[in-house]
């Protein structure tokens, strides 16, 4: 049975605001969970996980990407806003544990948040999506790799390929990756995804990558790393099968690599490609 949040947590927690959830799982990494529940939520709602950038918090990301909760009000889906437990507010996208399914790190805590929400709300398991920005985009990659069965579609803005930020420490900064100086084969990139959940042979989520071609923080080579990673995992050729200029807006080129992988390369855009919330909803099918 689906219990409304007000029943679970007390009547003072009205809907349509960020509600902290303190009982979502073992939460070994100590990440925090906030939930946004629109008014008049239908049965079997969809879930979008919105993952913040470095220095972000759940509330800051809620404020900086208002399109997400406004669209949640219109389209009636739940939004989970995880919050990083790490100094500096970056996600752990660099430890061995976070790069593994159920490894007890941040990626694991976010998966627990999703499982908790699916159960408590009897949400639709076929409609669980992620959008992440920067450090949150990197986390989105890792979640797509380690929990392909949990997510239907993943969008990341200005992130990196799963494993690219590996430093063997929690929430480290891999400058070789950031600067686009990793020389590796497509198979090496793919291995990070395959090793995150060994033996997985089910459906993988649809992925959409956004990257700016003048990103000085996470240089544009990272777009190519991600393309190499996922085209290999998905068994696509490394080149786009179709390409549309000025889509979804002037200067952005949309490249389709196969049914599950789309890239949007934005000319003249730096780090943190502006969020295209309406486009995101189309990609999610919401």
Q: Which residues, listed in sequence order, are joined to residue 5 by a DSSP beta bridge? A: none
Piece of 6-14, 28-36, 55-63, 249-257 that binds ligand NAG (CB under 6 A)? 28-36
Contact in structure between 57 and 96 (CB atoms under 8 Å): no
Identify residues 30-49 at the interface with ligand NAG (CB under 6 A). 30, 32-33, 44
Give how many residues touch ligand NAG by CB under 6 A.
39
Candidates 19-27, 49-57, 74-82, 95-103 — which segment interacts with ligand NAG by CB under 6 A?
19-27
User: Residue 225, Cα to own-chain centre: how many angstroms?
Assistant: 17
The distance of Cα 277 from the centroid of its chain, to the nearest Å, equals 14
| Beta-strand relationship, 32-36 and 18-21 | antiparallel
Binding to ligand NAG by residue 51, rule CB under 6 A? no
The residue annotated as part of the active site, out of 94, 109, 134, 226, is: 134
Q: Which stretch binds ligand NAG (CB under 6 A): 48-56, 73-81, 135-143, 250-258?
A: 135-143
Judging by beta carbons within 10 Å of its beta carbon (0-12, 13-18, 19+), is residue 74 exposed, middle or buried?
exposed
242 binds ligand NAG (CB under 6 A): no
Least Cα distance to 132 among 240, 11, 218, 193 occurs for 218
Helices 135-146 and 106-121, axial angle in degrees (round to 10): 70
Residue of the chain from 55, 63, 176, 247 that contacts ligand NAG (CB under 6 A): 176
Tokens of 62: 């809620």
> Are the C-beta atoms of residues 189 and 243 closer than 8 Å to each other?
no
Nearer to ligand NAG, 44 or 70 (CB): 44
Q: Does 111 bind ligand NAG (CB under 6 A)?
A: no
Tell whether residue 171 is a contact of ligand NAG (CB under 6 A).
no
Check if the beta carbon of residue 136 is closer than 8 Å to that of residue 143.
no
| Least distance in angstroms from the C-beta of 16 to ligand NAG | 20
Region of 11-19, 52-60, 63-71, 172-180 interacting with ligand NAG (CB under 6 A): 172-180
Q: Assess whether 134 carries a catalytic annotation.
A: yes
Which residue, 133, 110, 143, 127, is CA-closest to 276? 133
Tokens standing for residue 44:
């079997």
Residues belonging to the active site: 134
Query: Which residues here bind ligand NAG, judged by CB under 6 A?
Result: 22, 24, 27, 30, 32-33, 44, 124, 126-127, 137, 140-141, 144, 154, 156, 159-162, 166-167, 174, 176-177, 182, 199, 201, 207, 209, 211, 220-224, 226, 229-230
């Amino acid at each position: 049975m689906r219990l409304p949040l007000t029943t679970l947590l007390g009547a003072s927690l009205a809907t349509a605001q960020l509600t902290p959830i303190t009982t979502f799982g073992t939460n070994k990494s100590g990440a925090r969970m906030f939930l946004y529940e629109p008014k008049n939520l239908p049965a079997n709602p969809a879930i979008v996980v919105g993952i913040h950038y470095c220095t972000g918090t759940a509330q800051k990301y809620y404020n900086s990407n208002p399109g997400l909760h406004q669209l949640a009000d219109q389209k009636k889906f739940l939004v989970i806003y995880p919050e990083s437990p790490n100094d500096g507010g970056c996600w752990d996208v660099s430890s061995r544990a976070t790069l593994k399914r159920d490894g007890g790190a941040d990626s694991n805590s976010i998966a627990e948040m999703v499982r908790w929400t699916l159960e408590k709300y009897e949400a639709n398991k076929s409609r669980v999506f992620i959008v992440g920005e920067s450090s949150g985009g990197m986390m989105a990659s890792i979640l797509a790799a380690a929990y392909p069965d949990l997510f239907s579609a993943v969008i990341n803005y200005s992130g990196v390929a799963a494993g690219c930020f590996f430093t063997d420490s929690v929430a480290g900064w891999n400058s070789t990756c950031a600067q686009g100086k990793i020389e590796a084969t497509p198979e090496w990139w793919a291995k990070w995804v395959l090793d995150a959940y060994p033996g997985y042979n089910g459906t993988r989520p649809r992925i959409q990558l956004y990257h700016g071609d003048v990103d000085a923080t996470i240089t544009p080579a990272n777009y190519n790393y991600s393309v190499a990673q996922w085209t290999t995992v998905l068994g696509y050729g490394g080149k786009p099968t179709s390409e549309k200029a000025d889509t979804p807006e002037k200067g952005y080129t949309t490249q389709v690599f196969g049914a599950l992988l789309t890239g949007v390369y934005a000319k003249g855009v730096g780090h943190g490609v502006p969020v295209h919330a309406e486009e995101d909803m189309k990609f999610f099918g919401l």
